[in-house]
């Protein structure tokens, strides 16, 4: 899951001012974690401790109210009676990667991804986006090749993955929908040559840079067998202690590279 968090932290400075190039500094004094990281840690915490996703997400989200949550999600987060609000946004997909690392069958991964999504993002597209990212992480972790992953995700979810980053980049704009960002994140991973390249490909698309890189980073960690040490160090130095404790426990329990 550190791969997802790395994508968020590195992409954080490029969300407001998009970068349409593969060449940019990975870290700056302004690089920070955002809501993607907060909720990814929350999902991992829920899995580790056998807690409901809703409970863990609200605990962590309420501790970091200025992390960059969308308006509807913020209202849900602080509601006395939180109800799913039929969202097709990528908020469930950005937080789901721990599910892909933690469970042992694709059916279980899809089931848990749906559970983690439907507490807020219960629109079919919101659930589908979360399931697609979790499934891709699971398949990559299990050693499937990129063409197998492409075929499985296309066949199961109907996303058009027969495009390249270079083809998408020129006309791509900010899009927080699952249908307009999840396939692009998967393509960024599929087009990459290594973990760092996956992050660069994702951010170079523009748009919702931190979230696209977060999703791509999760798949890249699973596929490439880990995250380079210098990137891990740059990310960890920007995270609070309680996040690091969850990350370390999750990696230890589930044997993440």
pLDDT in tens, 201-256: 999 999 999 999 999 999 999 999 999 999 999 999 999 999 999 999 999 999 88
Residue 173 CB coordination number (10 Å): 10
Task: Find the mean pLDDT for residues 113-126.
Answer: 98
Name the band, by pLDDT with cuts 50, 70 and 90, for residue 142.
Answer: very high
Decide if 109 is inside a domain.
Answer: yes
Q: What is the CATH number of the domain that holds 81?
A: 1.10.4080.10
- Residue 183 forms part of a structural domain: yes
Average pLDDT, the chain: 97
Q: Is 22 part of a structural domain of the chain?
A: no
Please count the CA atoms within 13 angstroms of the CA of 78 that sit on its side-chain side.
Answer: 11
Residue 234's pLDDT is what?
Answer: 98
Q: How many domains does the chain have?
A: 1
Answer whether residue 25 is part of any domain.
no
Residue 23 counted as domain residue: no
* Confidence band, pLDDT 50/70/90 cuts, at residue 257: confident
**CB neighbours of residue 155 within 10 Å:** 9
Q: How far is Cα 33 from Cα 35, in angstroms, rounded to an integer?
A: 7
Q: What is the mean pLDDT of residues 166-185?
A: 96
CB-CB neighbours of 197 under 10 Å: 17
Q: Is residue 68 part of a domain?
A: yes
50: alpha, beta or left? (left if phi > 0; alpha if psi -120 to 50): left
Instruction: Determine, yes or no, domain membership for 38.
Output: yes
Give me the mean pLDDT over the 106-122 stretch: 98
Task: Write down the pLDDT at residue 256.
Answer: 82
* Interval 3-26: pLDDT, tens: 999 999 999 999 888 999 999 999
Residue 146, number of CB atoms within 10 A of its CB:
16
Give residue 137's domain range.
2-17+30-254
């Amino acid at each position: 899951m550190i791969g997802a968090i790395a994508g968020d932290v590195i992409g954080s400075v490029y969300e407001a001012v998009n970068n349409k190039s593969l060449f940019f500094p990975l870290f700056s004094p302004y690089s920070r974690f955002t809501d993607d990281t907060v909720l990814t840690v929350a999902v991992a915490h829920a899995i580790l401790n056998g807690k409901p996703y809703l409970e863990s997400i609200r605990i962590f989200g309420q501790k970091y109210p200025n992390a960059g949550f969308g308006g509807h999600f913020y209202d849900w987060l602080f509601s006395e009676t939180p109800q799913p609000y039929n969202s097709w946004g990528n908020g469930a997909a950005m937080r789901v990667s721990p599910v892909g690392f933690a469970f042992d069958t694709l059916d279980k991964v899809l089931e848990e991804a749906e559970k983690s999504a439907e507490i807020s993002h219960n629109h079919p597209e919101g659930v589908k986006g979360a399931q697609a990212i979790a499934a891709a992480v699971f398949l990559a972790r299990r050693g499937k090749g990129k063409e197998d992953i492409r075929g499985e995700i296309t066949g199961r979810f109907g996303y058009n993955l027969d495009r390249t980053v270079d083809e998408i980049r020129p006309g791509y704009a900010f899009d927080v929908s699952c249908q307009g960002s999840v396939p692009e994140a998967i393509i960024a991973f599929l087009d990459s040559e290594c973990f760092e390249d996956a992050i660069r490909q994702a951010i170079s698309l523009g748009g919702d840079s931190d979230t696209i890189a977060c999703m791509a980073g999760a798949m890249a960690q699973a596929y490439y067998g880990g995250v380079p040490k210098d990137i891990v160090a740059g990310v960890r130095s920007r995270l609070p202690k309680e996040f690091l404790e969850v990350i370390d426990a999750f990696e230890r329990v589930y044997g993440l590279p």
